[in-house]
């Protein structure tokens, strides 16, 4: 007698697993349906008076958005006259993020309708992260090393390399992303930026000595092993790490299980699986501390008058958070 038969005999419960693969016998429990129900619940709750509050549990640095290119992007104007063919080729690729290429070209020219918002979000993130980190390391910049986890298009790594950090290493598990990053770095002359095709859970031995600064940007919510990811970040960090992630506002320490559509999963910045574990704000803090980091400071975005469609920006809604973590 098998276990199911014993269970049925003992408790008079019949278990029918014949239709579990298509969830017919478990109506309403499929992952896509769960996503829709959560989205509906979150939307309804957000419309209630006060909605879910944006908790603030850490010391905070407020960064007001400025419609101003970083110096690294301004350098593109000087490189464009002699490398127009390369700039044009880069502008015809799908990126999803903004980088000025000079001569009126950019990495979001294929989606002109979204250009203002994508441009603003990219500049805001660089002001929140790269500007703040540059200010923290100060005169030590020329002797500092930086590692960028899951660097996607490589923009943050390239920007820091051009700001004068001694050496920047960046990796992503998608070869297409690394190809774009290398091409952009070459165009911009960021010779001190090195890019690898690697998986964060299987890094080569040469990474094990660690880096002064580690960027964990836009990765924390694309994984299914967040505890392991937090510990790897700590192990590779000598001084300071930056975590930037979607963080849900529910006031408990836990995770929201997200299931991506095939269309979303195909985007350049997605993870290995269509399943993701999105942390709440409190879980984000708890995991960073559990990994071993001692002092945490949050970087909070302030929209300012120049930010387009500010109501759609997750940073301003408190649904995306950025934390500096010191060893």
The answer to whether 170 touches 207, Cβ cutoff 8 Å, is no
CA distance 262 to 322: 28
Average pLDDT over residues 16-30: 54
Structure token pair of residue 39: 């989205």
pLDDT of residue 260: 67
Instruction: Kindly report, residue by residue over 118-139, the tens digit of the pLDDT.
Output: 999 999 999 999 999 999 999 8
Instruction: Kindly report, residue by residue over 228-278, the tens digit of the pLDDT.
Output: 999 999 999 999 999 999 999 999 999 988 876 777 666 666 666 778 899
Classify domain 60-66+127-326 by CATH architecture: 3-Layer(aba) Sandwich (3.40)
- Burial class of 242 by CB neighbour count within 10 A (0 to 12, 13 to 18, 19+): buried
pLDDT of residue 270: 60
Q: Pick the more confident residue, 19 or 281.
A: 281
Q: At what angle do helices 175-188 and 155-162 cross, to 10 degrees?
A: 30
- Give ∠ CA 62-220-56 in degrees, rounded to 5: 35
CA distance 226 to 230: 6
pLDDT of residue 217: 97
Instruction: Kindly report, residue by residue over 26-83, the tens digit of the pLDDT.
Output: 555 566 677 777 777 777 777 777 678 899 999 999 999 999 999 999 999 999 999 9
Domain definitions of the chain by residue range: 60-66+127-326
Structure token pair of residue 265: 């999963």
Place of tokens 């944006």: 54
């Amino acid at each position: 007698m098998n276990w199911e038969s014993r269970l049925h005999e003992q408790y008079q419960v019949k278990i029918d697993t014949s239709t579990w693969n298509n969830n017919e016998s478990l109506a309403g429990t499929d992952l896509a349906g769960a996503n829709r129900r959560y989205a509906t619940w979150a939307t309804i709750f957000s419309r209630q008076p006060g909605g879910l509050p944006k908790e603030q549990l850490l010391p905070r640095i407020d960064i007001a958005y400025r419609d101003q290119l970083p110096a690294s992007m301004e350098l593109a104007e000087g490189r464009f006259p002699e490398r127009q063919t390369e700039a044009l080729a880069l502008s015809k690729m799908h990126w999803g993020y903004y980088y000025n290429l000079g001569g009126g070209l950019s990495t979001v020219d294929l989606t002109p309708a979204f250009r203002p918002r994508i441009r603003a979000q990219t500049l805001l993130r660089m002001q929140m992260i790269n500007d703040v980190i540059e200010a923290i390391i100060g005169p030590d910049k020329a002797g500092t090393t930086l590692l960028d986890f899951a660097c996607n298009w490589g923009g943050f790594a390239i920007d820091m390399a051009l700001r004068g950090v001694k050496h920047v290493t960046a990796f992503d598990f998608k070869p297409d992303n690394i190809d774009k990053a290398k091409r952009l770095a070459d165009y911009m002359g960021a010779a001190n930026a090195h890019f690898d095709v690697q998986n964060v859970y299987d890094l080569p031995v040469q990474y094990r000595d660690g880096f002064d600064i580690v960027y964990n940007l836009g990765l924390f919510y694309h994984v299914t092993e967040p505890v392991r990811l937090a510990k790897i970040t700590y192990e590779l960090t000598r001084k300071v790490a930056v975590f930037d992630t979607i963080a849900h506002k529910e006031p408990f320490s836990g995770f929201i299980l997200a299931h991506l559509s095939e269309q979303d999963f195909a985007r350049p910045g997605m993870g290995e699986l269509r399943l993701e574990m999105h942390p709440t704000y409190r879980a984000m803090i708890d995991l960073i501390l559990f990994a071993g980091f001692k002092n945490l400071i949050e970087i909070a975005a302030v929209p300012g008058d120049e930010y387009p469609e500010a109501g759609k920006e997750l940073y301003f809604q408190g649904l995306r958070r950025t934390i500096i973590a010191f060893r």
